[in-house]
Amino acid sequence: MNIFVLGSIAFDELGQFKGSFKDLIQGSHSGRLSLSFLVENSVESFGGCAGNMAYGLGLLKCPATLCGLLGTDGQGYKEVLESWGMEVQFLTLDSDHRTARAVITSDRDGAQIAHFTPGAMNPVHSFELPPTAQAGDLFLAGPENPERVLQAVEQAKAKGLRVLLDPGQILHVFSSEELLSLVRGSEVLIVNEFEWDLFQKKTGLNLQGLLEILPLLIVTKGEKGATLYSTAGNAEVSAFPAEMKDSTGAGDAFRAGLLAGLKKGYSFAQAAEVGTVLGSACVECAFTQGYKLSPDRVLALKKLGWPELRLPN
């Protein structure tokens, strides 16, 4: 079983606001919102949902094939992804645009304000499923160019791949009909609590209605862990203890652990436990990549049956 990942690959600019966004917003005029705040510790780093997942998969020594987009400035990033054990031959290199860029600011409560410049993701590069993909392989469809996501999911389903749908921050872009088309025939929808609320509003489906057309829903809940919903019953997966520094990228780390666990033959609940260990490591780091596995996390992963890990210096 191989893993294929479609998702954004970007350069991140991450910073912290020492106050609380809600205090600023409550004090603003709702009809003409205008905010200004001081950002500290702003640093550029590698990022993007697929790039962040690749880092987590690399820590678990679990290779995956990346199917995303890089721009004219992306060669160095491509080499880094390859050094983590990722298959990069199917990355599309845009010769006219720079790699996507995200500017993300987190406040003291873990809330975020972000803006994203799509760069190489903006033109529509038609998606072509890598010829190495076979029925039964895992295909994670994460946030990327919406048209490419629709193409990719259709192609993956047609070839019999197990589709994990992770629309993330582009969920709002899809119409109700498109969202229903994406979930039908997929194996699981992965969302956070806000995204789950938005999905229900856009589609009109409640939990029961969704589970009539999709086997599994995973809702991540930050420090409360994650809940897995299916017609067979619900399963709660506790979060691994962590001291939060920055929540950016924690969801991507969780998905990396989930994918790696599924490839290893774990159940979704067992694989989600692997995901919570990686997610907890990420929130203790100021960046979406570069986090390390502490001794207690290494022990937890070994108890979950993980014999090999890449431990960065």
Q: Residue 238 has what DSSP assignment?
A: P
CA distance 150 to 153: 5
CA distance 290 to 59: 10
Tokens, residue 29: 């005029």
Question: Which residue out of 107, 166, 246, 252 is catalytically annotated?
Answer: 252
Contact 136, 262 (CB under 8 A): no
Q: Residue 237 has what DSSP assignment?
A: E
Which of 246, 247, 243, 241 minimizes the C-alpha distance to 277? 241
Contact 166, 188 (CB under 8 A): no
| Beta carbons within 8 Å of 229's beta carbon, 6+ residues apart | 207, 211, 216, 217, 218, 219
CA 71 remoteness from chain centre: 20
The total number of residues shown for the chain amounts to 313
CA distance 11 to 101: 5
Assess whether 252 carries a catalytic annotation.
yes
Tokens, residue 34: 């205008």
Q: Which helix (H) or strand (E) holds 114?
A: strand 112-117
- Cross-strand pairs, 39: none
Q: Where are the alpha helices (DSSP H) in the chain?
A: 21-26, 49-59, 75-83, 146-158, 176-183, 193-203, 207-211, 250-263, 268-283, 295-303
Catalytically active residues are 252
